[in-house]
A = this chain, B = another copy of it.
Amino acid sequence: MAEALTGEAILVATEEVLRRYGPAKATVVDVAKALGVSHGSVYRHFPTKAALREAVTRRWLDAIHVEMESVLDAEASAADNLRAWLQHLFDRKRLSHVDEPELFATFKVLVSESRAIPEYHIGHLVGQIARIISAGVETHEFVTDDIQRTAQAVWDATQVFHHPAHAQEWGNPHIQDAFDAVVSLVVAGLRYNRIPSATGDA
């Protein structure tokens, strides 16, 4: 008898099926076939196809989160950390897009299927930006009166370089130049930024 069927094994098989067939064609039956079980068995571990897809996506995003964490260097200046972090995120997404466009397209679709998933992903990464900015404020390298809001602004200002909707622009030969220009503008802004309060002031 084969090993017992685990959720983890199903996730691995699902990722493989998605890679092979793409998000539109991949079916639960395909996953079951790849595992040599009936598709009913898959439903013992995941209540719906959507839940299965979401679990695969979370796995993939978690790997990115861990990887991004490792870019930070406690010794470096906040500006250098922010630059390196943004560059790494850009490189990661761009490489994924040019090297394995079908897999990238697959995850682009998966991420857009749920409201919770992008929220989870963006929340996590904006949190990492907030930590970088926070360190910068402590050393007086950066100025801001609302770290969370500023972190979100940095994220928003760099969307062209990580949002999948802009992936087609990443093939442009001048894209690295455009990236440097935006990041320089943002870092310069952080050194002197004082965002007026959202809801009103004197």
Nearest B residue to A184, CB-CB: B195
Query: Could you give, for residues 164-192 of chain A, a 1 whenever the CB lies within 8 Å of some chain B CB and a 0 otherwise?
Result: 01100000000001101110111111111
Interface: A71 (CB within 8 A): no
Q: Which residues of B contact A166 (CB under 8 A)?
A: 159, 163, 165
How many angstroms between the C-alpha atoms of A152 and B190 in the bound complex?
19
CA of A196 to CA of B180 in the docked complex: distance in angstroms?
A: 8
Are the C-beta atoms of A185 and B193 separated by less than 8 Å? yes
Q: Chain B: which residue is nearest A149 at the CB level?
A: B181
Interface centre among A153, A182, A185 (most CB of B within 10 A): A185
Given A193-B188, A198-B177: A153 touches B165 (CB 8 Å cut-off): no
CA distance A184 to B145 in the complex (A): 12
Tell me if A13 counts as interface (CB < 8 A to partner B).
Answer: no
Q: Which residues of A contact B (CB under 8 A)?
A: 149-150, 152-154, 156-160, 163, 165-166, 177-178, 180-182, 184-196, 198
